[in-house]
Structure 1
Amino acid sequence: MNGLPSSAAPAEPTGELTLSEAASLLSGADMASTKALPERGIPSVLMTDGSNGLAMNLPDFSGKVPATCFPTSSALAATWDPALVGQVAGAIAREASAAGADVLLSPGMNLKRSPLGGRNFEYYSEDPLLTGELAVGFVEGVQGEGVGACVKHFVANNQETDRMRVSADVSERALRELYLRAFEEVVTRAKPWLVMASYNRVNGTYVSEDERLLTGILREEWGFDGVVVSDWGAVDDRVRALRAGLDLEMPSTSGASDAQVVAAVDAGTLDADVVHRSARRVADLAVRAAASGTHRGESSTTAPSAADLAITAAERSTVLLRNEHGVLPLAPTAGVAVIGAYASAPRFQGGGSAGVQPKQPAGSIVDAVGARHAGTVEYAPGYADDGLTRDPALLEQAVSVAAAADVAIVVVGSPESAESEGYDRADLGLPEAQNELVAAVAAAARSTVVVVISGGPVRTEAWRTSVDAIVSTGLAGQGVSLGLASILVGDADPGGRLAETWPRELADTPSFLSFPGEGGHSAYGEGIFVGYRGHDRTGGEVAFPFGHGLSYGETRFEDLAVSPSASGWSVEVTVVNVSERAAREVVQLYVEAPDHAARRAPRALVGFAAVAVAPGQTTRVRIEVPRRALERWDEAAACWTLDSGAHTIVAARSSRDAVLRHEIDVVGDDLRMPLTADSTLVEWLEHPAVGPALIAAVTEADPSGRTTGMLTNPMAVLMIGGLPIHRLAVDAGNALTLDLLDRVAGSQTD
């Protein structure tokens, strides 16, 4: 537990720590807390999981502390609402603080490289900008309540298969533009107290031992000044990890790693200053947490109840994927059949360390709809309680109940065993018992609505076009039943939008051929084309695109305007509600960038805003698009760059539903790599200044014209243009020499 009561004034650390004392601070006291040095004024820090609610273990590990169970991160991401995510995070932080915790080990920020990722329900999106914005909201919500946030899992921890040691073999461009990008946004803007280093390796080096990642990028480039903590058991070599910049190893090693650190200093293989530097960071964290503990709860007097917020969050997380013939919302007097065992006992969270012991049960969807709907509501389970087992008698009963109703609502979803920390999903398919039920009900019912409860996309091809409506709840926490009922009967608008693509087939996904890898390596062969970027680049059909979602109201986008701003561009668009129902709309901004310098996705998300628009009303939405959102990472120059030329800003409803377009002429960076003897012949010839100078120099040096002819003959250049130019300069049969190349290159810099 905490080394300092929350009501006590925190002490300042006193005196210089001995080497032994400093080393002792660098590993845990137990499974969840750091060591205290009371005589030095350094209290202990208690940490707990909590991505969708407090997930603190009881002292005897017999269970978990009861807490409000909110939607998982994958579900919350469908709100596209950082402010709501911040509210949820604040509520989780208040419960964590009340339980004595100082740090919340959240949010999870890894991108969904593949929909098979077993822990995807703990993560937000396949897009780094959406992930970063939502994570900023979460961190600010947590730390606004005086509890520290620990962002995780840094970095490229995109699978559960062999997660403790697999090497994510990823290009620098993909690493920078996708996998690091959201972490950079959170670290530089929200200032989390801790960053958690992941289990895996990146390009062969364990993240916990990667000095370039932990020190070069995280601290020196981004300015992170907090504590880098290991994932639990992630440290392979404690001394190498400490030298690389990993401050705190968790959990306790019962003093073994502390002794290794002291021994390395004594042996002269580790600088004592490195030990004291990390110890100061851990001590500063402890004092900061204790000081914050004396003020917790001061900003929470007007916060809604956690239970009510859980229902609101579940409503906002709901995505209406299909709604033919306006079957939803339910007509007030319609006879309704609710079918599926998951309607009686819905799933509401994923498995693993983030699991919450809910204060309130999720309750029955059947009961929730019955309490809200004026017409009759009948129930039939349709399949066994496990969600897997086919039962002919239950199927026959379900068909009979569906045939007698005006609308049949079939509740399906991935079984609990399919989505958990520790292993990846085997496929995207629903159990055959559920697919059979949907097909049979759709054939018998007047109208059919399918409700999908899952932590990620599922395959819908067996029935997608044969049902009238499809609703995705995600894993929506303890409020799932009441939130869904509000949507179905029309008391709330389904304002959710997909934060990840739903493919038609698993084989269509960009990472299909390389996920999860083999032999200890996972090759990120799709590069930057993750999720919708890859789907849109190939142009293949998807079941539902990134950003897709329907509203009961009808809106129109008008008057897209783009103007320069201090940081980039200000984009404004008008949203008009042209219906008689209130609508929640998500304005999504994408950029279509030129790909003459490097391959780009057809369009990439650069901004968004979720808005509520009353019937007949108009709202003007303003979204800031920073210059950085249009930049790409240049592999050769090893830096961010902005390409010059025409860029198109697109206001859209999804990555594939462009509504308005505005072209801007961007003056980018004049990025020119210095020419060397290792540069290719083509690179020399295509340089606007050096190329002509090279031709002039060889023409003067070789009056016969043989060398000039070689350099200007298209076929010759086609065959040898890729050679490093120094290989041509050793041939006495032409006028190229290293001295000539030096003179030409030097004349351009004089």
Structure 2
Amino acid sequence: MKYRDLINKMTLEEKASLMSGKDFWQTQNIERLGIPSMFLADGPHGIRKQAEAADHLGLNPSIPATCFPTAATVANSWNVELGEQIGHHLGQEAAAQKVHVLLGPGINMKRDPLCGRNFEYFSEDPYLAGKMAAGYIRGIQEHGVSACVKHFAVNNQEERRMSIDTIVDERTLREMYLTAFEIAITEGKPQTVMSSYNKLNGTYTNENLHLMQDILRKEWEFDGVVVTDWGGSNDRIAGLIAGNELEMPTTAGETNAEIVQAVKSGKLDEEVLNQCVDRLLQLVFTTEKALADNGKGKGKGKTELPIEQHHSAAQVAAEESIVLLKNEGGILPLPSARKVAVIGDFAKEARYQGAGSSVVNPTKLDQTLQLLEHFGIDSIGYEPGFERYGKRNRSKLSRACALAKQADIVLLYIGLDEVTEAEGLDRPSMRLPDNQVALLAALHEVNPNIVAVLSCGAAIEMPWIHQVKGLIHGYLSGQAGAKAILRVLTGQVNPSGKLAETYPLRYEDTPAASHFPGKEVSVEYRESLFFGYRYYDKARVDVLYPFGYGLSYTSFAYSGLSVDSTGAMFTITNSGSMDGMEIAQLYVGCASDNIFRPNKELKGFKKLFLRAGESKEVYIPFDDKAFRYFNIKTNRWEVEEADYAIMVGASSMDIRLEANLHVNGSGALLPYEPAKLPSYYSGKASNVPQAEFEHLLGYPAPNATWDRTQPLGYNDTIAQCQYAKGWFARFAFHAMTFAHWFLQKIGKRSTANLIMMSVYHMPFRGIARMTGGIVNMPMLDGMLMIVNGSFFKGLRHLLRERKKLMQTASLDKEIT
């Protein structure tokens, strides 16, 4: 251990104190030993450092920082170097704000398009997500700030995220849900990893020895710090044994006392605690030194943010990430001589970021209406056309149609609102709000020349696609997104983004739809490997827009593919009349059917700039992930000897070049009996029977429903009060659900969402873990007595324990 001498000077109580937060965002310091606090801040696409009134849901404003495009947006750039540049700027701003650990990037897989936090995640493909995340991490850590890759792992729904048990087979876990983390950690080398809230196959992730020790520590050789998601600690001792050093936020010393007692009783080996302390000290001292070095020569250690420079960088990031989805009749770029009607509430107030813990207070914010005159657009006027949060408004629709009649082209800004895509909630559907769809239909009746600008952070259904001639998807493009979109619309920038996720025709086509989200105890990943393009391709299900799709104002030709054991080489020519960038995608498919697989999987990509008429040779090497699969019999990565199709294309469904390569294998025994897994061998895995899924798992799936006969405990959710024995708990549940319904009815959707995010799906232990010591576990015991039918006994216990807590706090204050 690097800090053995320092650790030997600590008391047991001091060691334990370092394992949890000092407050909501800071770690504990030990002044007598010169151990400082660290500050942790949210920051997947911008720093959210709260000076006061700290919260974890983005309710209170933070110190101004550059709001870059979200991960879901930048993933469409397919540009790892761009991700590294964004990371560089994020790290610079974190260092300037004295942030030691930046909580991002998030790289969970987009298993289902309704996951409410998909706007924070890169892709449905682990290879693309991992490569992009590694770029972010390298950039952030250039400044000595630690990146914190999250949420480890298999956290793919927001509903019941703090208690849901994710049931997934080992091969799917390794190939689909851990590969992005593997790439990010082994190539990006973050100093911190955040464990997720959920259980994985029966054990909370931060207590899961297979995940935390076998894979993270031993296989990937991660030697940094694991921090819980806020309030995500269940059994503190089990977490420490698994190697989860830091619990956040503070529990006001409650779990510290648990650690001390566990060491004294022999439940926890003190040497295990010492190792956790050592890793934490390494993080503390390395980040503190880096921040001190960054502050030298800057006055009082304060660095001025280059606001304009970073705003420009956010604009460049947005420009490279915008996706042109439709351009019928070459309606784009907008002709300068045409009269344009600008319609849509998002043109006035941009939808540029998600909601929840990632909310950034931008340093400045571009708005479309304020920029139109700078782009030579002959705007004849603006109308909002619709109410932002879904309410019907006939007068707004009528005024918008009247304006549209006078225009040559309608520029329509539509999308999802801030309360639809939010942390803690999953989306109820893939549809745009009805009032926006109605507006589009009405506009199409009076003027068919419609160019839509779409703002949202995840896939949506587009049954209205025939009513627009042009479609620009800006995703959530950050504080400079409005200007970036206008530059693409007017042709100052040739769009080069390509989708990092598939857009199905309808939600019912999504393979996980019948098992998303898990509503009670567990969620079963019955589709296994087959989600995203892997499913649609194998099962031959038509989609609206395939993975990797995106148009340009120019055209690109592919030629001359040659393949050997080291990689693929080919030529791309800009065969159009405008300079532009192309993203070449390399897919690999195995010709053997001995092991079930997707038809093709992304194994490499390259983005390059080409002037009109220019040709460039492209080389994409194979790496250790190009031909591997995880064998459940050998419990390791293997390569099957077979012929492999090497495919190069402009999207997953637009393969331009193909060659065959024979690859020698590792000689492992075949892991499956095809006759027992027909759904997986066919790829038609959207409705897998339970018996077949259990054969894949290798054990019976746990009961997915609550046991309504048992008393409620720490890990049961407040929503389960609906069947509690105690009348008071049932009354509270019905009051809560009525309040949620009423708030939605009167248009207070944000407040209604807060009930679901912070109360409804919260496990009872979260009341203690998230209140910073205001409620402790003995008080929670009293609450559970009330919930389980012993009202007066529980109330007396609650009040007695509250009194004890207040007396202890008062005594501690006197001592200090």
- Give the TM-score normalised by structure 2: 0.79
Give yes or no for the alignment of 1:324 onto 2:328: yes
Paired residues of 2:562 and 2:568 also in contact (CA < 8 A): yes
Which residue of 365, 369, 373 maps to 1:370? 373
Distance 1:321 1:556, change over 3 A: same
- Structure 2 vs 1, CA of residues 648 and 70 (structure 1 numbering), >3 Å: closer, same or farther? same
| Within-5 A mapping of 1:180-259 | 180-259=178-257
Is 2:495 aligned against 1:494? yes
Q: Distance in 2 between matches of 1:304 and 1:601?
A: 46
Distance (Å, rounded) in 2 between the aligned partners of 1:303 and 1:358 = 10
Aligned to 2:137: 139
What is the identity, as a one-letter code, of the residue corresponding to 1:116? L
Once residues 14 and 263 of structure 1 are traced to their aligned partners in structure 2, the CA distance between those partners, rounded to angstroms, is 18
My pick for the range that moved more, 341-350 or 160-169, is: 341-350
Contact 1:402-1:445 at 8 Å conserved across structures:
yes
> Is the partner of 1:78 in helix, strand or coil?
helix
Kindly state the Cα deviation for residue 49 of structure 1 after the two structures are TM-superposed.
Answer: 0.5
Which runs of no fewer than 5 residues in structure 1 stay unpaired? 1-9, 684-721, 723-750
Quick check: 1:12–1:287 contact (8 Å CA) kept in 2? no
- Which digits, 9 at most, give the CA deviation of each residue in 1:528-571, with x for residues without a partner? 0121111111111111111000011111111112222xxxx222
Q: Compare CA radii of gyration and give the structure with the larger one.
A: 1
Verify the 8 A CA contact 2:372 2:379 in the aligned structure 1: no
2:73 matches 1:75:
yes
Residue 383 (structure 2) aligns with? 380
Q: Label 1:589 to 1:274 Cα distance change in 2 as closer, same or farther (>3 A).
A: same
What is the match of residue 392 of structure 1?
Answer: 394
Moved more, 301-310 or 538-547: 301-310
Question: 1:652 aligns to what SS in structure 2?
Answer: strand
| Structure 1 counterpart of 2:74, one-letter code | L
Q: Describe how 1:294-693 pairs up with structure 2 within 5 A.
A: 294-296=292-294, 305-363=309-367, 365-384=368-387, 386-461=388-463, 463-564=464-565, 569-672=566-669
Q: How far 1:297 sits from its partner (Å)?
A: 7.9
Task: Give the CA deviation at 1:304.
Answer: 8.2
CA contact (8 A) 2:165 2:521 kept: yes
Q: In structure 2, the residue corresponding to 1:396 is in which secondary structure?
A: helix
Distance 1:349 1:374, change over 3 A: closer
Contact 1:68 1:359 in 2 (8 A): yes
Partner of 1:172: 170
Name the SS for the 2:95 alignment partner.
helix
Measure how far apart 1:465 and its partner are. 2.1
Select 1:60's aligned residue among 44, 53, 68: 53
Equivalent residues of 2:96, 2:305 under 8 A apart: no
Counterpart residue type for residue 588 of structure 1: Q
What do residues 260-296 of structure 1 show as CA deviations (whole Å, max 9, x unaligned)? 0110111111111111110111111111112222333
Contact 2:448–2:467, Cα closer than 8 Å, also in 1: no
Root mean square deviation of aligned Cα: 2.3
- 2:13 is aligned, of 11, 20, 31, to 20
Residues 301/153 of structure 1: CA separation in 2 closer, same or farther (3 Å cut): closer
Of 95, 98, 103 in structure 2, the residue corresponding to residue 97 of structure 1 is 95
Alignment check: 8 A CA contact 2:98 2:291 kept: no
Once the two structures are TM-superposed, the CA of residue 59 in structure 1 deviates from its matched residue by 2.3
Alpha-carbon distance change, 230 to 14 in structure 1, aligned in 2, over 3 angstroms: closer
Q: Measured at CA, do residues 446 and 132 of structure 1 come closer, stay the same or move farther in structure 2, by a change above 3 Å?
A: same
Contact 1:163 1:200 in 2 (8 A): yes
Asked if the contact 1:594/1:600 (under 8 Å) is kept, the reply is no
Mean Cα deviation higher: 18-27 or 217-226:
18-27
1:43 paired to 2:39: no
Give CA deviations for 1:36-79 in whole Å, capped at 9, x if unaligned: 12322322111100011111112234521011111111111111
The answer as to whether partners of 1:170 and 1:523 remain within 8 angstroms in 2 is yes
8 Å CA contact retained: 1:311, 1:480: yes
Corresponding residue SS for 1:622: strand
Give the fraction of aligned pairs with identical amino acids, expressed as a percent.
37
Once the two structures are superposed, residues 354-379 of structure 1 have per-residue CA deviations (whole angstroms, 9 ceiling, x without a partner) of 1001111232x233233202534422
Q: CA deviation at 1:482?
A: 0.3
Following TM superposition, by how much is the alpha carbon of 1:627 offset from its aligned partner in structure 2, in angstroms? 3.5
Pairwise CA distance, 1:466: 3.0
Shift of 1:574: 1.2
Q: How many residues align?
A: 663
Task: Specify the SS of the correspondent of 1:478.
Answer: coil
What SS does structure 1 have at the residue aligned with 2:480? helix
* 1:261-272 correspondence runs (5 A): 261-272=259-270
Give the Å deviation of 1:97: 1.1
| Cα distance in 2, alignment partners of residues 302 and 589 from structure 1 | 38
Give the aligned residue type for 2:170.
Answer: E
Output one character per residue of 1:109-153: Cα deviation in whole Å (capped at 9) or x when no partner: 100110000011110000000000000000000001211111000
Equivalences for residues 101-112 of structure 1 within 5 A: 101-112=99-110
Q: Deviations over 1:422-446 (max 9, x none)?
A: 1100001111110011112223224
Distance 1:659 1:673, change over 3 A: closer
Matching residue's letter, 2:405: A
Would you say the 8 A contact 1:227–1:247 is kept in 2?
yes
Contact in 2 for aligned 1:26/1:279 (Cα 8 Å): yes
In structure 2, the CA distance between the partners of 1:177 and 1:304, relative to structure 1 (3 Å rule), is farther
- Secondary structure, in 3 states, of the residue corresponding to 2:283? helix
Q: Secondary structure at the match of 1:647?
A: strand
Asked if 2 retains the 8 angstrom alpha-carbon contact of 1:146 and 1:295, the reply is no
Normalised TM-score (structure 1)? 0.86
Amino acid at match of 2:106: G
- Residue aligned with 1:296, SS: helix
The one-letter code of the counterpart of 2:443 is V
Can you list the C-alpha shifts for 1:155-196, whole angstroms capped at 9, x where unaligned? Answer: 001110100010110010110001010111111111100111
CA distance in 1 between partners of 2:647 and 2:307 (Å): 36
Q: Take 1:114 and 1:180, find their aligned partners in 2: how far apart are those partners?
A: 17
Contact 1:19 1:276 in 2 (8 A): no
Give unpaired runs (5+ residues) of structure 2. 55-59, 297-302, 677-694, 696-816
